[in-house]
Amino acid sequence: MITNKLYQTKHQLWLNILFASFAIEDEAIKSRLYDFSMIEFRHMKWLAQELRDTNTYYNYDRNNMMLYKHENNFDLLRFVLREIKEIQTSYDDSVLSSRMITDEHYFIQYIASLLDDRSNDAQISAFDMHRSLPNKQLDQKQTDALTLFLFEESYKEYELILVYAFMQNYTKEQLHFDIFQDLIDESHFHLKSFGNMMAKMGLLALPRELHEMTYKINDIEKFVKDGIAEEEAAKEMCRQLAADINDEELAQFFDFINYQENYHIALMEKLL
């Protein structure tokens, strides 16, 4: 039987694999783990649909989840492997469970193969608070501004992914469904970008947990208008950061994010 407890566990597994992909520097392993995290998010979507169809309550509570500061790849991979194996006992004999089990059996095999090769191990610097980027020379003020931006915006993107997923699950309008999907996809990209940058700076941390009132929306119109204002504020933060940071590559990246927010606002205005 699909339950809220299973959904919460799946939510935490998605985050554990996602943040493992941010923490590990090896590009091949990072990319594969990120793919696995996106599959886990798809599992969450299907579970949410099952819960909706059976009128079963679910939420985004995380049961005091922590992001453990592993010092090397193998410790982190062993942790992820244990988390994947543990959830296997929670599935029933449904078609959806069968799909999730077989997906995760492959994840287990892949991670086990990594652990069989010592060359895949390496030190992890994603949590050591060194607060610098490779080949970048930022002063204290620029570093502080970038740090604040990454913490605020990584939470915002995590929040938006979950809020839009919740609203998408209950909408009966195809237009709304499609717009929510676009916004979810865009926020996944932004969260990935910010998460990887946080890891490079030794600042990797979980976004704070969402309160239920964040995603159980009573006034949709107010929510969308507030969302547009939030996107406008994010645009200004990107613009200001691009202006303040004396690095052409970083400035171009934050301008790129800024311009993407323009279309997010247009999508949200369409919802109105």
Q: Which residue has the tokens 């020379």?
A: 137
- At residue 113, the pLDDT reads 98
- At residue 2, the pLDDT reads 85
Dump pLDDT digits (tens) for 63-120: 889 999 999 999 999 999 999 999 999 999 999 999 999 999 999 999 999 999 999 9
**248-271 and 220-244 are packed helices; what angle lies between their axes, rounded to 10 degrees?**
170
26-33 contact pairs (CB < 8 A, 24+): 26/73, 26/120, 26/122, 29/73, 29/114, 29/120, 30/196, 32/110, 33/80
Cβ neighbours of residue 31 closer than 8 Å, sequence gap 6 or more:
21
